[in-house]
Amino acid sequence: MGRLLESSRLVTVTGVGGVGKSRLALAAARAAAEDAGDRWPDGVWLAELSPVRDPALLEFTLAEALGLTDHTTRPPRSVLAGHLAGRELLLVVDGFEQLVEETAGLVRELLRGSPGLRVLAAGRRPLGLDGEAGFPLAPLEPPQALALLTARATAADPGFAVTAEVRPVLTELCARLDGIPLALELAAGRLRTLSPEQVLARLEDRFALLTGGTRGALPRHRALRTAIGWSHELCTPAERLLWARLSVFAGRFDLDAVEYVCGGPDLPVDEVLDLIGELLAQSLLAREETPAGVRYRMLETVRLYGAGWLESLGDCGRLRRRHRDWYLGLATWCELDWFGPRQREVAALVETELANLRLALECCLDEPQERHLGQYLAGTLWFYWAGCGRLTEGRHWLDRSLEGGPADEEYEGSRLKALWVLGYVAALQGDAVPSLAALHACRDGAERSGNRVAAAYAVHRMGCLALVSDDMLRAGELLGEALEQYRETGELNSNVLMCQVELAMTLAFRGDLAGAVALCEEVQDICQERGERWTKAYALYVLAYAALDAGATAEARRRLTECVTINHAFRDPVGLVLAVELLALVTAVEGYAAEAALLQGAAEPLWEGVGLRLFGSGYFNAPRLTCRERAGELLGAERYAACARHGRSLSREELVERALRAPEPLPSVPELPRPRPENRKPVGSPEREPTG
């Protein structure tokens, strides 16, 4: 595999379902990550595509896998191409069978524009691109198959032994299953309760017709279907029913979701946990640890078999609606929990459940009569779109949910929420015209329906748009008006606190630092009481701005380091880049000109995640320009440029680590060590810490 990757920029592992394509690709990727050195200086990354059904989400999924955030209106494909253009990395693309043409088109475009990119794909068929090197993965040879079967059987039952009498039966069983690893593992799970002779007899007797009589099917496909079908046959009726119902999930799912979605009179909730245990024991489910807790995952081949049974039961529509309802409820509780001490856990939870939330959005938007639910769900996830670096995907769902004009008056509240969130997202993207259109539509609709809270949100986000457009006078008027409306209606959450921080920014930029500090100290007190941290980071930015103006550089640094820590944890690129640029100025004022230039340079790639420099002029630009002028005078143009260039080569994790420690004088620029390349997450690990 390593030699193929050296000689070809696209290698595709192909083979029948269950033959171990994903396992081999992940093993090769892990080996590449461990031995990367100079070969993959920008890391090895995994994109799991099996949960993706909508082609429009393909680019979002790859961007997510690469840890990208983008706040602009640029198409996600352009963002991907721009990110990869100058990098040398290995991208592993697994499970693209349901989107072969779309995946092939995207991979072709990325490879053409990214000379340093290598792609390792795993699927049942090649992508069909020029220059593609195939790696057909054959089933195991008889000795290997027997070794796998006995190893898995022994793991399930330590008392299992391969005697002279049983070896021929096991050998025949391996031959009957064509050496397909998944089929062998399913068979091994049954050897806990059945003898090898019984297992073989059931294969012979119960599925002879299925094995030999499927027209047009390859023998190995028939053998796999036999193994899965045989495992299905040996399940209890309750286990088969749960298997079918679990097929409505995308990616990972937890016990609570399974109990709600799959439970019912014919599948009592108090039996679900034991049934999951049985499916785990039979290798039909896998258990994973994630940042949000324990999750389960069903192999795609197994899931598709269950989906076929669910279809035959005529229960797909009802199960999809129950799935949708669960994730609507999850999003609602997450929005409430966002204003509290569980913000970090909420971010990790939504990240973990994103595939299922997307599926729920699809379910809502597939039915015109349920479009209001899609509007509600897309709007309710505002905290994730805006607070965790997901503006582009949020804009996608919000635009889709609002297609087709106004909904019934009964659901006007959902439409208004989607409108003000769309206005907010578009404003942060620097897309002023659509932002104003959505916010005016929200305010007009709110006035007609008497929805004072929605009206306040519309006015607030108009003020936010004025703020990022450098119209401080107008911003102050609108934000003050919105804050008064919030207080009159009793509204209090992270949005309301952010409105107060944004008002403080207008005061600070206009010279009223005392007024700005008073507003932000009040916000800090509420955040401390409630455990809120996301808005607190922006309050810290304003307080640091005021402290620096007053000459209190130690206080400014303390506040900014906390600000950097919070924004990095939430993957909020806007807050992070603003904090780093102000911290660079603090560092210059403290006399560490070279370190200031380095931080200033390190902020440049962060703007790629934000996209357009929407804060790139006027008031928000002042710290950057002042830092450049001050550090440049001390260092000279050539050394300043060298330090900034060194900063641009830092990964985000290295930048944050550097920002959080006390500054030190840098050695002479020619002696600066080349920093480690961008962080490499463990390929295939379910855990992924949120990054800023």
| pLDDT tier for residue 669 given thresholds of 50, 70 and 90 | very low
Which residue in this structure is represented by tokens 């930015």? 541
| Interacting residues of 626 by C-beta distance below 8 A, sequence separation 6+ | 585, 588
Answer yes or no: are the C-beta atoms of 445 and 416 closer than 8 Å: yes
| pLDDT tier for residue 199 given thresholds of 50, 70 and 90 | confident
E-assigned strand segments in 158-256: none
- Residue 450: count of CB within 10 angstroms of its CB: 8
DSSP state, residue 669? G
SS3 category, 367: coil
Query: Residue 511: is its pLDDT beyond 70?
Result: yes
Query: Residue 456: is its pLDDT beyond 80?
Result: yes
Cα–Cα distance measured from residue 523 to residue 496, given in angstroms and rounded to the nearest whole number: 10
User: 3-state SS of 470-497?
Assistant: CCHHHHHHHHHHHHHHHHHHCCCCHHHH
| pLDDT tier for residue 4 given thresholds of 50, 70 and 90 | confident
Arithmetic mean of pLDDT, 255-263: 97
Cα–Cα distance measured from residue 624 to residue 658, given in angstroms and rounded to the nearest whole number: 18
Cα–Cα distance measured from residue 83 to residue 91, given in angstroms and rounded to the nearest whole number: 13
Q: Which of the pair, 352 or 674, is modelled with greater confidence?
A: 352
Residue 594's alpha-carbon distances to 338, 450, 588, 627, 647, in angstroms, are: 39, 57, 8, 11, 10
Q: Return the minimum-mean-pLDDT range out of 12-21, 455-464, 632-641, 676-685.
A: 676-685
Query: Residue 568: is its pLDDT beyond 50?
Result: yes
User: Containing H/E element for 360?
Assistant: helix 354-366
Cα–Cα distance measured from residue 431 to residue 399, given in angstroms and rounded to the nearest whole number: 13
E-assigned strand segments in 6-163: 10-14, 44-48, 89-94, 117-123, 132-136
Percent of the chain with pLDDT over 70: 90
Cα–Cα distance measured from residue 105 to residue 322, given in angstroms and rounded to the nearest whole number: 35
Cα–Cα distance measured from residue 555 to residue 544, given in angstroms and rounded to the nearest whole number: 7
Structure tokens at 314: 């005529």
β-sheet bridge partners, residue 118: 90
Cα–Cα distance measured from residue 377 to residue 354, given in angstroms and rounded to the nearest whole number: 12
How does pLDDT run across 100-112, given as a tens digit for each residue?
Answer: 999 999 999 999 9
Closest CA to 400 of 60, 38, 51: 60
| Interacting residues of 533 by C-beta distance below 8 A, sequence separation 6+ | 343, 344, 527, 566, 569, 570
Arithmetic mean of pLDDT, 140-159: 90
Strand order in the sheet with 117-123: 44-48, 89-94, 117-123, 10-14, 132-136
Q: Which amino acid is at 601?
A: G
Which residue in this structure is represented by tokens 């944050």? 656
Structure tokens at 612: 């357009």
| Interacting residues of 247 by C-beta distance below 8 A, sequence separation 6+ | 298, 303, 304, 306, 307, 309, 310
Is the four-CA dihedral 185, 186, 189, 193 of positive or negative sign? Answer: negative
Cα–Cα distance measured from residue 143 to residue 167, given in angstroms and rounded to the nearest whole number: 11
Alpha helix segments (H runs only) across 550-690: 553-569, 573-589, 593-610, 618-635, 637-648, 652-659
| pLDDT tier for residue 467 given thresholds of 50, 70 and 90 | very high
Q: Checking DSSP bridges between strand 117-123 and strand 89-94, what pairing results, if any?
A: parallel
> In this structure, what are the phi and psi dihedrals at residue 288, rounded to the nearest 5 degrees?
-135, 145
SS3 category, 81: helix
Q: Return the minimum-mean-pLDDT range out of 49-53, 482-486, 636-640.
A: 49-53
The predicted pLDDT at position 92 comes to 94
Query: Residue 351: is its pLDDT beyond 90?
Result: yes
Cα–Cα distance measured from residue 687 to residue 238, given in angstroms and rounded to the nearest whole number: 31
SS3 category, 506: helix
The predicted pLDDT at position 347 comes to 94
Closest CA to 44 of 685, 681, 690, 689: 681
| pLDDT tier for residue 206 given thresholds of 50, 70 and 90 | very low
Domains annotated for the chain, with CATH where assigned, are 2-136 (3.40.50.300), 142-234 (no CATH), 323-550 (1.25.40.10), 572-671 (no CATH)
Which residue in this structure is represented by tokens 């004009």? 405
Arithmetic mean of pLDDT, 348-365: 95
> In this structure, what are the phi and psi dihedrals at residue 287, rounded to the nearest 5 degrees?
-100, 135
Q: Which amino acid is at 400?
A: R
Query: Residue 401: is its pLDDT beyond 90?
Result: yes
Closest CA to 205 of 218, 216, 220, 194: 194
Cα–Cα distance measured from residue 386 to residue 20, given in angstroms and rounded to the nearest whole number: 39
The predicted pLDDT at position 402 comes to 95
Dihedral in degrees, nearest 10, Cα atoms 68, 69, 73, 74: -20
SS3 category, 119: strand
